[in-house]
Structure 1
Amino acid sequence: MSGIVIFGAGGRAGRAVTAEARGRGHRVTAVVRDPSKYGDLEATGVSLVRGDVTDAERTFSIVRGHDAAVCAVTPFSGPQQDFSALDPEFFVKAVDALLAGLAEAGVPRLVTIGLFANLKGADGRLIMDDPSLFPAHIRPFAAAHTAGLHRLREQDGPVDWLMLTPPALLEADGPRTGRYRTGGETAPPMSARLSYADLAVAVIDEIETPRHHRTRIAVFNLS
């Protein structure tokens, strides 16, 4: 049994990863902004704590004694997403704090959830740069996410990181099949889909048996 810290455990991806980790017998610490809103997570036997993913000192105190961390955070606290108020450095700050905190605590593995918008399309352009595929008003969020990916790639510290990037079509209520495919920097076909449950399978697989190191990969299923 491993100890896994999940930042952003209250969101869809975070909840799915929490459930998958618990189902495999791992000890889980779920990190959320406001624990009073997520009592249902604690009821599943998860240790629920308050945390800010951009705070390196707090990250260190949370991750000590664990074997891996998962980052499934978003800067938004609810469905009303005000992109005008988005901090463009949010994901960069998160990466800096996570890598510093994990390194200091001696936690060797970090798995983060990526965004399909910075995968490449068939023409070699990033999806986010093609207005026919990606809405312009969401581009600031994609740019912020991409900045976080660049920051990860710049690091040469002790933490072995991996970013798993799901397709555009993520199914909240899709079944857990236990199957998924992986790819590289090019986006899978637009028909590709993935359930949050199978995204969580891929995350925990990469914690239990790491196969990809210091890179970003696509993860998806095809209909």
Structure 2
Amino acid sequence: MSDIVVYGAGGTAGSRIVAEAVGRGHRVTAAVRRPEAVTWLPAAAHLVTGDATSTQSVRDLAGAADVIVVAVGGGERALWRDAAQTLTTVLRDLPNPPRVIHVGGGATLLTSKDTPLLDEPDFPDEYRDAALGQADALAWYRSSADGVTWTYLSPPPLEFHPGERTGRYRTGTEHPVVDEQGRSVLTYEDLAVVIVDEIENPRFENMRFTAAY
């Protein structure tokens, strides 16, 4: 059993990660900005006010945690890098820092030309700021996270949506995992499975990975 803090626990990804972790018997602290507005999390989760970009919040919650999951979203470009920077800066000063698992962006995965998908000329403008923000966070972990164990998970870049929990998936590292039709697909429910599997059996420490069917 692990003590897990989930930042962004009220969101589409975060709420499913909380449910999956609680369902497997882990102790989960669900950190959200407005706890009074979140009513859909499992009763076994400990709901608290939390902000992954707040030094005080991370200090308050990190001490008893084995793992911190970052599943934040909906902010300006700086949100994701600020969260990565805050977490790594605070955690490296702890005697036994928890591991960080960051739910990242699929647009940072690479094309067959080994260039980021977000650099493609037809990449949608409405998603660019979020994609760039997630790219900034990945760059931060890779360059500035000394002393902290981290993992960055990129979901599929396009076909990633709520749906069925199957418990099945395949993993890769820098390029999307595709099926026989060339599609890269995953549900949020199975993203949660991927995250909790990685917590229970670490395979991708200090690196980025991806998963799909």
TM-score for both structures, normalised by structure 1: 0.87
Q: Which residue of 2 aligns with 1:152?
A: 141
Gaps of 5+ in 1: 77-85
Q: How far apart are the structure 2 equivalents of 1:45 and 1:137?
A: 37
1:55-100, Cα deviation, whole Å (9 max, x unpaired): 1222110122111110000144xxxxxxxxx2x3222211111113
Q: How far apart are the structure 1 equivalents of 2:207 and 2:132?
A: 18
Q: How far apart are the structure 2 equivalents of 1:30 and 1:108?
A: 16
Q: How far apart are the structure 1 equivalents of 2:55 and 2:129?
A: 25
Note if contact 1:113-1:164 (Cα within 8 Å) is conserved in structure 2.
yes
Q: Which residue of 1 aligns with 2:44?
A: 45
Aligned-partner SS, 2:186: strand
Q: How does 1:190-201 map to 2 (within 5 A)?
A: 191-201=183-193
Note if contact 1:7-1:14 (Cα within 8 Å) is conserved in structure 2.
yes
Backbone CA RMSD of aligned residues: 1.6
Q: Which residue of 1 aligns with 2:60?
A: 61
Aligned-partner SS, 1:194: strand
Q: Are 2:20 and 1:20 equivalent residues in the alignment?
A: yes
Q: How far apart are the structure 1 equivalents of 2:19 and 2:145?
A: 31
Deviates more, 1:46-55 or 1:101-110: 101-110
Gaps of 5+ in 2: none
Q: Which residue of 2 aligns with 1:130?
A: 120
Q: How far apart are the structure 1 equivalents of 2:115 and 2:146?
A: 30
Aligned-partner SS, 2:92: helix
Q: How far apart are the structure 2 equivalents of 1:97 and 1:63?
A: 12
Note if contact 2:170-2:177 (Cα within 8 Å) is conserved in structure 1.
no
Deviates more, 1:95-104 or 1:50-59: 95-104
1:27-55, Cα deviation, whole Å (9 max, x unpaired): 000000100111332x5211111111111
Count of aligned pairs: 208
Deviates more, 1:180-189 or 1:23-32: 180-189
TM-score for both structures, normalised by structure 2: 0.91
Q: Are 2:201 and 1:202 equivalent residues in the alignment?
A: no
Aligned-partner SS, 2:140: helix
Q: Report the AA paired with residue 199 of structure 2.
A: I
Aligned-partner SS, 1:39: coil
Once the two structures are aligned, what percentage of the paired residues are identical? 38
Q: Which residue of 1 aligns with 2:102?
A: 112
Q: Which residue of 2 aligns with 1:213?
A: 205
Q: How far apart are the structure 1 equivalents of 2:98 and 2:133?
A: 25
Q: Say which of 78, 97, 116 aligns to 1:89.
A: 78
1:156 Cα offset (Å): 4.3
